[in-house]
Amino acid sequence: MTMKPILEAKNLLTSPKKIFITTHHKPDGDAIGSMLALHHYLQIKGHHVYSVAPSEVPEFLEWLPGVQQVINYEAQATEAQTALHNADIIFCLDFNDFSRTKLLEPLLAAATAPKLLIDHHLFPKPVWDFGTSRPEKSSTCEMVYDYINEMGDNALINLDIAKCLYTGAMTDTGSFRFPCTSGDVHRMIADLLDKGLVQGPIHEAVYDSWSADRMRFVGYSLIEKMELFPKWSAGIIAISRKDLKLFGLNTGDTEGLVQYPLSVRGISFSTLITERSDEVKLSFRSKGDFNVNEFARTHFQGGGHFNASGGKSSESLNDTILRFKQILSEFHPR
């Protein structure tokens, strides 16, 4: 199926429709931010909107405007299924392969309503009727902003939408420092600020709202769990379920940990390996010209972006660590 440009779906939206929006499993700031920004926009346009996250919204995003309307598939499956079944249109945000929605995958694949994609990951699966896929874009939030503008609706961007868009752009750009932070991103932020957005409280809500245990856990991870391999410009942090339990944390609290090894001089490839209840999850980050998207695809059934990707392993945590180190010793990132 070839995906038609998203603006060609404009006439599907001329009368009030039932719209189902979803995003990826274990949603992050860009996933929930883009979903809620689009949710608010489509509601203003007169549609009935149902936003479904495949798993729960993490605590650091619980302040986002409209978040109480998000249906968590893991907790409210029937409600989500009814919304999907009744939907006239399906929007998929911040993922490009149904498998990234875990339990929703078979339902999305079987759904017959037109499917629209807004996403910035590499290599979209050819399963959407309409969409926009732009890996060079900083965030899905930036793309939702572009979409609203291209629909001629910039004037409809209110403070709720602005807060959601800012959050996803901020989290996906590492607070506006990654190379994807283009002039367009700064022009969008300027527009949001001109519309009255105050950014300080957003940074505080997302980054300065940790529990003391989570902060101590970072210290523990850096001292006890981080291994550096200067020969390969690489660093890894491996976290077991026992480690998380020790601090009373859950897997969401490892967010951001993967960045730390990159702050060491000479390290340009970082990997976080986390033991989850059903699988071992890997997060990859790089600086410069090492393609972690390709690395994730080749070795760990994953994908993502050039400098940020993820994958998984069905082996034990220890076997995954061993296999990773073996690959590292053969596969030189530089």
Copy the structure tokens of residue 308.
């940020």
Q: Interface with Mn ion includes 172 (CB under 5 A)?
A: yes
Please say whether the dihedral angle defined by the alpha carbons of residues 160, 165, 168 and 169, taken in this order, is positive or negative.
Answer: negative
Task: Please state, in angstroms and rounded to a whole number, the distance separating the CA atoms of residues 36 and 41.
Answer: 8
* Pick from 251, 256, 257, 248: nearest CA to 224: 257
Residue 255 engages Mn ion in binding (rule: CB under 5 A): no
Per CB under 6 A, the segment of 38-46, 148-156, 181-189, 301-309 that binds ligand 5GP is: 301-309
Among 132, 221, 309, 313, binds ligand 5GP (CB under 6 A): 309
- Whole-number Å distance between alpha carbons of 291 and 79: 40
**CB-based contact 202:171 (threshold 8 Å):** no
Q: Please, which residue, 161 or 236, has the CB nearer to Mn ion?
A: 161
Q: Nearest distance from residue 123's CB to ligand 5GP, in Å?
A: 9
User: Is 132:147 a contact under the CB 8 Å cutoff?
Assistant: yes
**Site for Mn ion, residues 131 to 160, rule: CB under 5 A:** 140
Structure tokens at 29: 């700031």
CA distance readout (Å), 124 to 93, 128, 130: 12, 9, 12
Judged by beta carbon distances under 5 to 8 A according to partner kind, the member of ligand 5GP, Mn ion, none in contact with residue 302 is: ligand 5GP
When the beta carbons of 65 and 252 are compared against ligand 5GP, the nearer one is: 252
Q: Which of 311, 313, 317, 320 binds ligand 5GP (CB under 6 A)?
A: 311
Q: Residue 169 in contact with residue 185, Cβ under 8 Å?
A: yes
CB of 324 to ligand 5GP, least distance (A): 15
Q: Which residues here bind ligand 5GP, judged by CB under 6 A? A: 24, 97, 100, 121, 283, 302-305, 308-312
Q: Which residues here bind Mn ion, judged by CB under 5 A? A: 30, 94, 140, 172
